[in-house]
Amino acid sequence: MRAVQFSRFGAPDEVAEVVDLPAPPPPGPGQAAVDFLAAPINPADLLNLRGQYGIVPALPANAGFEGVGLVTAVGPGVDHIRVGDRVLLGGGTWRERQILSAAGLFALPPGLPSEQLAMLTVNPLTARALIHDAQLQPAQWVIKNAANSGVGRAFFTLAKKAGARGSRSCADLASRTH
């Protein structure tokens, strides 16, 4: 089974390497086997490889903060997900498969592209935290700069859902004045 690991910090193209790991065992009680389908490359992933993002991982570490995978087997006592379900993944997602605790997994809706689902964990949750920390109230105005990223797009969608008025980026407002 292949995975992207790093055993030192530095430039991503110098420290990330594809390694062969032993195949994981069958899932035990409360576990699921998941084959990884898609995982994006975020700026946070690249900073992590440099040792410059949030909590610095113990080395060697598996790369990738988010992704989506396919449940290929479930252990005894797992009945809320089934073989064939797609699930969100977090941490060490640049790999082929893994045995995970099933408790934090849930089936994703069918018909949505795996490449889009794979990006649901990092940026939308960051946007939600921004809105929550700002204690956004309905009818308040929101302006956010540097909003062209996934965080910015999710921020405005969530702000609008929370009832904010004028949910626009500075760039969008500037383009409307010319």
Catalytically active residues are 53
Pairing of β 86-90 and β 17-20: unpaired
- Do 69 and 119 touch, CB atoms closer than 8 A? no
Helix (H, G, I), strand (E, B) or coil at 97: strand
Rounded to an integer, what distance in angstroms lies between the CA atom of residue 91 and that of residue 61?
Answer: 10
Estimate the crossing angle of helix 122-133 against helix 150-161, to 10 degrees.
50
Neighbours of 162 (CB within 10 A): 17
Decide: residue 108, CB within 10 A, 0-12 exposed, 13-18 middle, 19+ buried.
middle
